[in-house]
Amino acid sequence: MSLTTNKNFAPDQKGQGWKIFKSPKLEPFLYLSPSIILICLVIFVPLVIGISYAFQSISLFRPSDTGWIGFEHFEDIYQDRKFYKSLRNTFWWTFTSVILQFSLGLGLAMLLKAGFKGQKFFQALIFLPWAVPTFLSALTWAWLFNPVIGPLSHWMFALGILDEPYNILADPSIAMYGPIAANVWFGIPFFAITLLAALQSIPDEMYEAAAIDGASKWQVFSKITLPFLAPMIVITVMLRTVWIANFADFIYVMTSGGPANSTQILSTYIFLTAFKKLDFGYASAVSVVLLVLLLIFATLLLKMRQKFVRVN
Amino acid sequence: MSNIELREISKSYGDVEVMNDINLEIQDGEFIVLVGPSGCGKSTLLRMIAGLEPITAGDLLFDDELVNELAPRDRDIAMVFQSYALYPHMDVARNMGFSLEIRGEKAQIIDQRTQKSADTLGLKGLLDRLPKALSGGQRQRVAMGRAIARDPKAFLFDEPLSNLDAALRVEMRLEIAKLHQRLGATMIYVTHDQVEALTLADRIVVLNEGKIQQIGRPLELYQSPANLFVANFIGSPTMNIFDVKQVGAELQLVNGALIGMSGGGAAVSFGIRPEHIAIVAQDKGHVVGTAEVVERLGSDSNIYTQVEGLGQVLIRHHGNTELNIGDKFGLEFNVSAAHLFDSDGIRLTLDK
Ligand SMILES: Nc1ncnc2c1ncn2[C@@H]1O[C@H](COP(=O)(O)OP(=O)(O)O)[C@@H](O)[C@H]1O
Ligand SMILES: [Mg+2]
């Protein structure tokens, strides 16, 4: 028999029922439970329901066929040529947009860091693309490419890029550049602002030490600036990639995936399948594939990030 | 190795002039210490020599060659920053070999050189650590190692020891002195700590408010300070300064006591170091004082004394003292070691 009483494990006076909630493993989760429950309701429940659609036949044109069908949708996807075309386009659309947004955004961030006359004004101006509703931006860009009312095709003709001033959105071989241009314009500010913040957090002394050590401009950039930016670059590129891969607004408004599916990406394909063909089951199945691809991508990138956490 | 010359250098930020008419010639292999209170422009001057700060006016010459417009990388100087400025994403070895890496040296040579400077600074075994896994003292050593690994024309130090604790500071001070003896390189060292200045320097440059107050050997500054500022700044504890006026052939303190020397008519201040005041019987000295605070440091004692009509006087007594608070005694000034200053604060040279 022990004479010492451990307070934590003393029998609860209000009854045995409470004891389980006092266990040190469970207790913290109880305090968190309001937010956990909320997150489950808002995120996980819809997610699970959405995923469950992928295994059901839910088409408004075939209301009698509704029911569980197992992996049938995925077998269809496996043979769907439009799906593969959209998948290729998704890669093309996403990586071209991200690479251009990133490199131009980084360039702009370096310009802003260096400072120039009228910088404050310019810095405020940079946010403008975000203030405009995306549908409006998309329409504006579509008009800009239209040779009847917009100047872009005439300029490209004058520069010798086009043989004659026609609408590139109507040419299957180059239509994708239209939404990509709009998307780059729209996405540069994000990279410029986040990378500028990261640039400004690099101590001036690093640059001074590098100057004394004899580094050229390029060496300073590659051996000091980039390593310092690396963690930020990885995280922003990941966020943007996932976001752009899912971003259907520009393409939907500018080309609706056409002509001849030349600008169809998975997210527009999903959108059109769900809301034009009203086949929610198949749309959900394609969404699940996209989700898995993006999860794989994010995991890879986060693994890479661990290599960069050395800085900071 | 090189000699460095500053001719009438001045520096302004916009309309604000922070350095004015700096003239200084530094010999090859010399250890120069720039000393002065915080904000006097020491770092600015050092950074102008390094090329990190543009020079507003004047000439900077390395080996008689004008280098005003030369980028830091073309000046071939090494600098140790106050905060060390180690690259956080590189291990110790790469930090030290970075300037060699930049110049495209062979990996083998870089390795050899970093090993060698790591050996001299006792950094062996730390070479593959990142800076964040080092103590302050070790970081300081890496910063020094980075400088010596590249064998530059000159070394610049900006308060390199100010972030270390007292014991480490003494140790590193000694190492820097040894380093200078071994390398024989030109070194310019900035500090606000006069002990570092006095112990390390071949010559000290005392700066105040962007102007050079005096250039001289450590003992020169102590024995014959050019003006009141230097007299006050160099020497610890600081010199006692009293107002005086000429009465007949002798100078008189404000409490009426005569001090037995003449100021030639121009003297308005009388300076006497604490160690040049002797404690004597009440009826013997120049003035009479009462001990207020007695600090016993073992090797010396500081006696803060209240003298009527004169204020507080500090006396440094070699060895221990029998005096207690409240004791009255006579103070005798060693007049031959005293200094007189005119109304502009300039020290008067008297023929004694
Ligand atoms: N970038 C700057 N712009 C304006 N004034 C400056 C700048 N850098 C330094 N100063 C001024 O120059 C003077 C000298 O500074 P500094 O050389 O850092 O002093 P120290 O190193 O002797 O403490 C200070 O009065 C400081 O306020
Ligand atoms: Mg300073």
Strands B311-318 and B300-307: antiparallel
CATH of the domain at B333: 2.40.50.140
* CB pair distance less than 8 Å for A209 and B85: yes
* CB pair distance less than 8 Å for A214 and B78: no
Per-residue model confidence as pLDDT tens digits over B81-112: 999 999 999 999 999 999 999 988 899 999 99
CA-proximal residue: ligand 1, atom 1 (nearest): B13
- Examine the fold and report which residue of B212, B232, B252 is the final residue of a domain before the chain moves on: B232
Mutate to test the pocket of ligand 1, among B10, B11, B12, B13 (most ligand atoms within 8 A of CB): B13
* The predicted structure's pLDDT at residue B57: 92
- Examine the fold and report which residue of B204, B232, B260 is the final residue of a domain before the chain moves on: B232
> Which one-letter amino acid corresponds to residue B95?
N
The torsion of the CA quartet B322, B327, B330, B336, rounded to 10 degrees, works out to: 50
Shared-domain flag, residues B217 and B194: yes
User: Does residue B314 lie within any of the structural domains?
Assistant: yes
Q: Which residues contact A307 (CB under 8 A, 6 or more apart)?
A: none
Strands B277-280 and B311-318: unpaired
Show residues of chain A in contact with B98, CB under 8 Å.
Answer: 210, 213, 223
Check if the beta carbon of residue A205 is closer than 8 Å to that of residue B83: yes
Percent of chain A whose predicted confidence (pLDDT) is above 70:
91
- Examine the fold and report which residue of B232, B262, B294 is the final residue of a domain before the chain moves on: B232
Which ligand lies nearest the alpha carbon of B49?
A: 1
Shared-domain flag, residues B286 and B169: no
SS3 percent helix, strand, coil of chain B, rounded to 5, is 30, 35, 40
Shared-domain flag, residues B46 and B181: yes
Mutate to test the pocket of ligand 1, among B9, B33, B43, B206 (most ligand atoms within 8 A of CB): B43
Residue that the structure tokens 């400088």 belong to = B147
- Residue B54: its H or E element: none
Question: How many Å lie between the centroid of ligand 1 and the Cα of residue A103?
Answer: 37
Extents of the domains making up chain A: 2-53, 73-311
Shared-domain flag, residues B213 and B342: no
Q: Which residues contact A81 (CB under 8 A, 6 or more apart)?
A: none
> Which one-letter amino acid corresponds to residue B55?
I
* Nearest neighbour of B102 by CB, restricted to A215, A227, A311: A215
Name the residue in chain B with its Cα closest to that of A210: B99
Question: How many Å lie between the centroid of ligand 2 and the Cα of residue A210?
Answer: 19
Distance between first and last Cα of chain A: 54
User: Does residue B201 lie within any of the structural domains?
Assistant: yes
* The predicted structure's pLDDT at residue A2: 44
User: What residues make up the domain containing B264?
Assistant: 243-348
CB contact burial B50-67 (16+ within 10 A = b; e otherwise): bbbbebeebebbbeeeeb
Number of domains in chain B: 2
Confidence at A5, pLDDT banded by 50, 70, 90? very low
Shared-domain flag, residues B208 and B261: no
Shared-domain flag, residues B90 and B140: yes
Instruction: Average pLDDT across each block of 10 residues of chain B; the chain has 352 residues. List them in order.
Output: 87 92 93 93 94 93 91 91 92 92 90 90 89 91 91 91 89 91 92 92 94 94 93 92 89 87 85 94 91 92 93 92 90 92 88 51
Strands B77-80 and B154-158: parallel
Which ligand lies nearest the alpha carbon of B44?
A: 1
Is B132 in a helix, a strand, or coil? Answer: helix
* The predicted structure's pLDDT at residue A15: 52
Per-residue model confidence as pLDDT tens digits over A264-276: 888 999 998 888 8
Bridge partners of B17? B12
* CB pair distance less than 8 Å for A206 and B85: yes
Q: How far apart are the C-alpha atoms of B336 and B264, rounded to whole Å?
A: 15
> Which one-letter amino acid corresponds to residue A50?
G
* CB pair distance less than 8 Å for A213 and B102: yes
Output the average pLDDT for chain A.
85
Show residues of chain B in contact with A311, CB under 8 Å.
Answer: 88-89
* CB pair distance less than 8 Å for B103 and A209: no
* The predicted structure's pLDDT at residue A130: 82
Q: How far apart are the C-alpha atoms of B187 and B2, rounded to whole Å?
A: 10
Give the number of other Cβ atoms within 10 Å of residue B189's Cβ. Answer: 26
A22 has pLDDT over 80: no
Q: Stretch A159-178: mean pLDDT, rounded?
A: 86
Show residues of chain B in contact with A223, CB under 8 Å.
Answer: 98, 102
- Return the CATH superfamily for domain A73-311: MetI-like (1.10.3720.10)
* CB pair distance less than 8 Å for A213 and B71: no
Shared-domain flag, residues B322 and B217: no
Going from the C-alpha of A222 to that of each of A229, B20, B97, the distances in angstroms are: 10, 39, 17
> Which one-letter amino acid corresponds to residue B59?
D
Shared-domain flag, residues B205 and B77: yes
Q: Stretch A22-48: mean pLDDT, rounded?
A: 86
Shared-domain flag, residues B155 and B218: yes
Shared-domain flag, residues B180 and B287: no
Is residue B18 within 6 Å of ligand 1 at its C-beta? Answer: yes
Q: Torsions phi, psi of B277, nearest 5?
A: -115, 125
Whether a cis peptide bond, with omega within 30° of 0, leads into B72 is no
Model-level ipTM above the cut of 0.90: no
Q: How far apart are the C-alpha atoms of A8 and A22, rounded to whole Å?
A: 8
Closest CA to B348 of B290, B284, B263: B263
Is A227 in a helix, a strand, or coil? Answer: helix
Shared-domain flag, residues B214 and B65: yes
A107 has pLDDT over 60: yes
CATH of the domain at B154: 3.40.50.300
Q: How far apart are the C-alpha atoms of B186 and B203, rounded to whole Å?
A: 12
> pLDDT higher for A308 or A6?
A308
Per-residue model confidence as pLDDT tens digits over A60-79: 787 777 788 888 888 888 88
* CB pair distance less than 8 Å for B87 and A310: no
Name the residue in chain A with its Cα closest to that of B52: A208
Show residues of chain B in contact with A224, CB under 8 Å.
Answer: 87
Check if the beta carbon of residue A216 is closer than 8 Å to that of residue A133: no
Bridge partners of A59? A279
User: Does residue B261 lie within any of the structural domains?
Assistant: yes
User: Does residue B238 lie within any of the structural domains?
Assistant: no
Mutate to test the pocket of ligand 1, among B9, B18, B212 (most ligand atoms within 8 A of CB): B18
Shared-domain flag, residues B55 and B164: yes
User: Does residue B176 lie within any of the structural domains?
Assistant: yes
